[in-house]
A and B are shown apart, each in its own frame.
Chain A
């Protein structure tokens, strides 16, 4: 598809499904107000988070400069803990690893993971004949809608309660009212049995420590702990940028992540370092007690190493995925995740360019950003998205990948400068 066609399709989508969709606006209004208030309250109660975030920035700077070394250390630790560790350099390699580990005709429960969205893991596993259930409530709604997440943390942020009620009514064949508590109870009932029937649980992680191989999974619903804990096999898919040197670094990173994601304290922080085990009988370690007997950790590169090499783009890898920037972006406030291809918003543009759709596919996103810089103000780590987007635009110009309206405007100015000025 040509650059201009990609741009046209993107603009059609962002206008039709984002800007013109009044229901998206209603849902976003409610979510943004709630998020801002909750985050401010969380930061007021725990003001140390603001300086802790500065420390986490340094941790991330170090970690991204030592990704390969930290990945090897993390793998060593995971193997020592009786887990299995893999490196997928590409999406295709990740598919191959999952194909070997999962096989066909399995039931899988999956907790929310943007990294799995990046490679469309659920769709791949379904194409292999597996039955896959997204267990995060928002992700479950997204799965039923056969669409894609519209926010990093709140995948169904654009769907108001009235629409959720209709969706669940269609799915269950019962009349579900637009009452959030009743909607939550309905999904709980649908998914409850799946956890214990599942052959495999799949999760992502917010951060993982290289020294102990301990992954942190922050959640509120309790779906992650069930999908991690109940099935006999656990497989984690984790981006290599999530590795930090020590367990202490991981605690700090996790705290800043959840605080800026608007939680004073999340309901659950799952720490997993290996498969389930017991030494209760004669102190003989036996694996597969109550939790999974197997743990597999798949580290995904998929463009991250390339990103890390670049002096400007590498900053995107510091992202904690707290979602703060999206709640502050004036474009996102009218379009939700339609501002993006797979990832979202200004920083998502850089992620898309390197991990999902390439520079050409990310070009329309690059020209959606207002370069206003409010995202940087609100980011706990002060990530400079505007500079990255500007760099991307420069690279698009040099590669001849600028969308038509921008190209024509620039050409007109350059022509004026060349010929029109006395």
Chain B
């Protein structure tokens, strides 16, 4: 199977090339062939969020053509927003290639195969990207994948409202402000650092892992800005780190 790693250029643009490395490595470990776009309109799915929805819709067929020309069977993205845009906002745009999020890809492949993981004796807090968790309900897959890792202690965000109104961790997961990179750049590290300080540090975890590459970018900036000790990892990077091999 050919797997298009979709969002490669966006990850490069954000300076998180390690996400691309992990995505490629995982696709290889899972016995698939990674493919890439010949050319890419970086961050194109961001246009709608910025108020350029009409323009995004106009260029969508160009993006579809790019994806289909890659010869891939499926496009896998690390970005929650990309997943959301293709599966909700632009779902009416004809395309032959499905766009799924990397956590869905990992869940599907690892559940149907025999993965071997290294032990990971750490407390890991899971952060659901807003567009993936709150908006799209893709919440079981990342948890199921992390639960496959031996000795990994999965930790969830806490909020008094969870007991009072039954809200779930993905309902209350705090956004580190990744879009501020574009809209109000100087503010982003303050917001991300504050989320790490207020919402993450009290949970006493070793690692924060997020399902959104854009969120990862913001958390990384916040960690650096605030000199926070907690390790910050995009979920694909964490899984790649512990996944030794996969057999059928």
- Residues in chain A within 8 A of chain B (CB atoms): 11, 14-15, 19-20, 25, 29, 32, 36-37, 39-41, 43-44, 50, 328, 330-331, 333-335, 364, 366-368, 370-374, 377-378, 390, 392-397, 402-403, 405-406, 409-410, 413-414, 416-417, 420-422
Contacts of B54 in A (CB 8 A): 394
A378 to B160 CA separation, bound complex (whole angstroms): 11
Contact assessment for A374 and B50 in the assembled complex, using a CB-CB cutoff below 8 Å = no
Contacts of A405 in B (CB 8 A): 182-185
A340 to B159 CA separation, bound complex (whole angstroms): 26
Contact assessment for B161 and A330 in the assembled complex, using a CB-CB cutoff below 8 Å = no
Contact assessment for B47 and A410 in the assembled complex, using a CB-CB cutoff below 8 Å = yes
The residue on A at minimum CB distance from B45 is A413
How many residue pairs between the two chains, A and B, have CB atoms under 8 Å in the bound complex?
154
A377 to B157 CA separation, bound complex (whole angstroms): 15
Contact assessment for A40 and B160 in the assembled complex, using a CB-CB cutoff below 8 Å = yes
Contacts of A406 in B (CB 8 A): 50-51, 182-183
Contacts of B53 in A (CB 8 A): 390, 394
Given contacts A334-B191, A397-B50, A414-B47, 17 further A-B contacts (CB under 8 A): A11-B187, A14-B187, A19-B186, A20-B190, A25-B194, A40-B160, A331-B191, A335-B187, A393-B50, A395-B51, A406-B51, A410-B47, A410-B55, A420-B41, A421-B41, A421-B62, A422-B39
Contact assessment for B160 and A422 in the assembled complex, using a CB-CB cutoff below 8 Å = no
Contact assessment for B42 and A416 in the assembled complex, using a CB-CB cutoff below 8 Å = yes
Interface residue SS majority, chain A: helix
**A370 interface neighbour in B42, B47, B66, B177, Cβ under 8 Å:** B177
16 A-B residue pairs with Cβ-Cβ distance under 8 Å, sorted by A, are: A11-B187, A15-B186, A40-B164, A41-B164, A43-B161, A43-B165, A335-B187, A368-B187, A390-B48, A390-B51, A393-B50, A402-B50, A405-B184, A406-B51, A413-B43, A417-B62
Q: Would you call B35 an interface residue if the criterion is a C-beta within 8 Å of the partner chain's C-beta atoms?
A: no
Contacts of A41 in B (CB 8 A): 160, 164
Contact assessment for B51 and A330 in the assembled complex, using a CB-CB cutoff below 8 Å = no
Query: What 1/0 mask marks residues of chain B from 184 to 225 whose CB sits below 8 Å from any chain A CB?
Result: 111100110011001000000000000000000000000000
**B174 interface neighbour in A19, A364, A374, A413, Cβ under 8 Å:** A374
Contacts of A416 in B (CB 8 A): 41-42, 44
A396 to B43 CA separation, bound complex (whole angstroms): 20
Contacts of A330 in B (CB 8 A): 174-177, 191, 194-195
Q: Would you call B171 an interface residue if the criterion is a C-beta within 8 Å of the partner chain's C-beta atoms?
A: yes
Q: Would you call B180 an interface residue if the criterion is a C-beta within 8 Å of the partner chain's C-beta atoms?
A: yes
A333 to B193 CA separation, bound complex (whole angstroms): 11
Contacts of B186 in A (CB 8 A): 11, 15, 19
Q: How far is the CB of B218 from chain A (nearest CB, A)?
A: 10
A397 to B57 CA separation, bound complex (whole angstroms): 15
Contacts A330-B176, A405-B183, A413-B44 given: A371-B195 contact, CB under 8 Å? no
Contact assessment for B44 and A417 in the assembled complex, using a CB-CB cutoff below 8 Å = yes
The residue on B at minimum CB distance from A35 is B160
Contact assessment for B39 and A373 in the assembled complex, using a CB-CB cutoff below 8 Å = no
Contacts of B59 in A (CB 8 A): 414, 417
Q: How far is the CB of A109 from chain B (nearest CB, A)?
A: 36
Contacts A367-B183, A368-B184, A374-B175 given: A421-B39 contact, CB under 8 Å? yes
